Structure 1
Amino acid sequence: MHTVAVLALDQVIPFDLTVAIDTFGWARLPDGRAAYRVRVCSSAQEVTAAAGAFTVRAPYGLDALAEADTIILPGVADPTAPLPPEVAEAVRTAAANGTRIASICVGAFVFAATGLLDGLRATTHWVAAQDLAAMYPKVTVDPNVLYVDNGQFLTSAGAAAAMDMCLHMIRLDHGSAVAAHTARHCVMPLEREGGQAQFIVHDQPPAPAGATLEPLLDWLEESCARDLTLDEIAARAGMSTRTLNRRFREQTGTTPLQWLHRARVRRAQYLLETTPYPVERIAEQVGFGSPTAFRERFRRVVGTSPQAYRRAFKSTNGA
């Protein structure tokens, strides 16, 4: 039986811990036997979950990592805290013996601290991606995917993406039928691949309170379906295009047309989530000249295609 060791460090993130235990724990072979033996390991007998949610009793010590086929590294509340030397050494020793190692969310910091990710591509939650890249410059951080599979070493984004990664590993180990059965227990789709974008919320750049451009921004939001030019926007603002661009950058950090494109994409996201309209109709409704231009802009802003976004986020009250 394949053994999965889940490493629980102090201040472990509860959901990261349970998602690994549950996903592998629910996996069953066609004859009904458990597909994995799941062990919670730690350098201490007890660790505290983040925010004091609960205390974890770890039945196994670090020596159990050497016996595992897969090691899971959940995130911790302070991922920048130094990694205990004995933990780093145990993980590196397991890696040298060929053990598969995977991290969940900011567990990538724990992983990177061992040096095992040096020279490799990795991911983490998009909020923490810049910090990971700054702390570990030898790691190529990709914040735009659900998980990265380097073969022996895997990293995942948020805890939900970790379920995708775990299902991916189950499929590699036992085939699609076992992975699909596990996915049904997790109430998860099996279709999401690692290269799919993290669906980051791209808010409009805010204008400071009382900014002189607020009325113009309201008008742009209402008029985003129109084929507006920079000259038209400047005329509405009563400014030259040069002055408009300067003030826009001062107050929003972007240009009028970039702001307008984001407004259109946000409107398109709403329509994709709540209506059955085809992409061509939505492209026209939100002011893009062609479906091709819409698809290109949507992918540039959101990180995925309109069709993939709709599959992931379509409301049951939509079509």
Structure 2
Amino acid sequence: MSVPLVAVIAFNHFSPFHLSVPCIIFGDLLHDQKLFELRIYADEPGKLRSNEGLSVESSLSVDELAQADIIIVPSWRDPAEKPDQSMLDALVTAHARGSQVVGLCLGTYVLAYAGLLKNHKAATHWEFEQDFISRFPDVKLDCNALYVDDDRLITSAGTAAGLDCCLYLVRQHYGSVIANKLARRMVIPPYREGGQAQFIERPVPVSTQDARINMLLDYLRNNLNKVHGLDELSHYIMMSHRTFTRQFYKATGMSVGEWLLVERLQRSQELLESTSLPIDAVAEQVGFQSATSLRQHFKHRFDVTPSEWRKTFQGKRPTAVNHLATNF
């Protein structure tokens, strides 16, 4: 019985890691069982080189590319560069005949340049979210998903999310037993909970261009455990209630309540990573009224629970802190 033909697209200045992900997943990782036929396609003639000096050669023509069962674009070198039209046409032809077309990380840009993602859901690296949206406003970008499958158009978030996406494809073709076996061989989880929101760094700026608002932000960060009312804060900053709410939104782009929620979640992440505090103590220190409230907001924002976050990000030796501390 024939196995699916997987074509991986390589290009000059390729990323060795991104290229290696589909190559190892769809190569002969299970030496006693051939699951896929893996071929490399080059969108440029001659040897293709990475910035680190590695090189690859192609074994697939553009016509053969269009006949592949799965086509994977493992990344892309420049979001502003439109790829060669003949390659884009091959992607469109392959998808039209029923193939799966995959964009890992910035490879999503290639699928978008081909016009395949119009009115479809997609994912890409969180750092390029705004750039992608501005270039392709007709694509429904999911800024949290590790990977998205919409009508045989599979796209993933950045870097290691490509592993999750490729294992998903294996699971589709051969089931969970084989996918789990591959994951164990690679010593990686067969399935990760949550989305890429959990890997995004601080979502709000530390300071603004308004000196008085900056003074207030410092005060709030040092008193996250307290309950804050608008009357109290407007008095603290010596503004009227109406002027304060307007100036705060102008400076930060969000309401006081929204800003406090983001900061409290950010601080809870730090405590979960660096301390052994129980969840209810974390909730108290960052200003949530209960552990239940923290769990609900945390799950809604990051798509994982506080305990799952701690398991993923905490080091082996957490540092205990004083449960009675009130300021940070």
Q: Does the pair score TM above 0.5?
A: yes
Task: Indicate the SS of the match to 2:218.
Answer: helix
Task: Indicate the SS of the match to 1:198.
Answer: helix
Change (3 A) 1:303 1:46: farther
Task: Indicate the SS of the match to 1:159.
Answer: coil
Give structure 2 stretches of 5+ with no counterpart.
320-328
State whether residues 19 and 159 of structure 1, in contact with CA within 8 Å, keep that contact through their aligned partners in structure 2: no
Report how far residue 87 of structure 1 moved: 0.6
1:7 paired residue number: 9
Q: Distance in 1 between matches of 2:51 and 2:208?
A: 33
Report how far residue 5 of structure 1 moved: 0.9
**Letter aligned with residue 295 of structure 1:** R
Report how far residue 162 of structure 1 moved: 0.9
State whether residues 122 and 141 of structure 2, in contact with CA within 8 Å, keep that contact through their aligned partners in structure 1: yes
State whether residues 157 and 196 of structure 2, in contact with CA within 8 Å, keep that contact through their aligned partners in structure 1: no
Task: Indicate the SS of the match to 2:37.
Answer: strand
Query: Equivalences for 1:1-319 in 2 at 5 Å?
Result: 1-25=3-27, 27-28=29-30, 32-46=32-46, 48-49=48-49, 51=51, 53-192=53-192, 196-199=195-198, 200-208=200-208, 211-302=211-302, 304-318=304-318
Q: Deviations over 1:248-298 (max 9, x none)?
A: 334433333333222211111112223444433322221112334323433
**Letter aligned with residue 9 of structure 2:** L
Q: Distance in 1 between matches of 2:89 and 2:204?
A: 45
Task: Indicate the SS of the match to 1:11.
Answer: coil
Q: Distance in 2 between matches of 1:278 and 1:159?
A: 32
Q: Distance in 2 between matches of 1:47 and 1:136?
A: 31
Say which is worse superposed, 208-217 or 122-131, in terms of deviation: 208-217
Q: Distance in 1 between matches of 2:294 and 2:41?
A: 49
Q: Deviations over 1:214-271 (max 9, x none)?
A: 3332221111011222223233334433343344334433333333222211111112
RMSD: 2.7
Q: Distance in 2 between matches of 1:6 and 1:133?
A: 25
Change (3 A) 1:160 1:133: same
Task: Indicate the SS of the match to 1:316.
Answer: coil
Give the number of equivalent residue pairs: 316
**Letter aligned with residue 26 of structure 2:** F
Task: Indicate the SS of the match to 1:80.
Answer: coil
Q: Runs ≥4 in structure 1, deviation > 4 angstroms?
A: 47-53
**Letter aligned with residue 261 of structure 2:** H
Report how far residue 109 of structure 1 moved: 1.2
State whether residues 147 and 154 of structure 1, in contact with CA within 8 Å, keep that contact through their aligned partners in structure 2: yes
Task: Indicate the SS of the match to 1:129.
Answer: helix
Change (3 A) 1:133 1:236: closer
Say which is worse superposed, 48-57 or 271-280, in terms of deviation: 48-57
Report how far residue 110 of structure 1 moved: 0.7
Q: Distance in 2 between matches of 1:314 and 1:25?
A: 33
Report how far residue 170 of structure 1 moved: 1.2
Change (3 A) 1:120 1:259: closer
Give structure 1 stretches of 5+ with no counterpart.
none
Q: Distance in 2 between matches of 1:216 and 1:229?
A: 13
Report how far residue 302 of structure 1 moved: 3.8
Report how far residue 197 of structure 1 moved: 4.3
**Letter aligned with residue 6 of structure 1:** V
Q: Distance in 1 between matches of 2:281 and 2:216?
A: 27
Report how far residue 88 of structure 1 moved: 1.5
Report how far residue 28 of structure 1 moved: 1.5
State whether residues 202 and 302 of structure 1, in contact with CA within 8 Å, keep that contact through their aligned partners in structure 2: no
Q: Distance in 2 between matches of 1:33 and 1:296?
A: 44
Identity across aligned pairs (percent)? 34
Task: Indicate the SS of the match to 1:101.
Answer: strand
Say which is worse superposed, 230-239 or 135-144, in terms of deviation: 230-239
Task: Indicate the SS of the match to 2:26.
Answer: helix
**Letter aligned with residue 223 of structure 2:** S
Q: Distance in 1 between matches of 2:242 and 2:20?
A: 55
State whether residues 121 and 140 of structure 1, in contact with CA within 8 Å, keep that contact through their aligned partners in structure 2: yes
Report how far residue 161 of structure 1 moved: 0.8
Say which is worse superposed, 111-120 or 58-67, in terms of deviation: 58-67
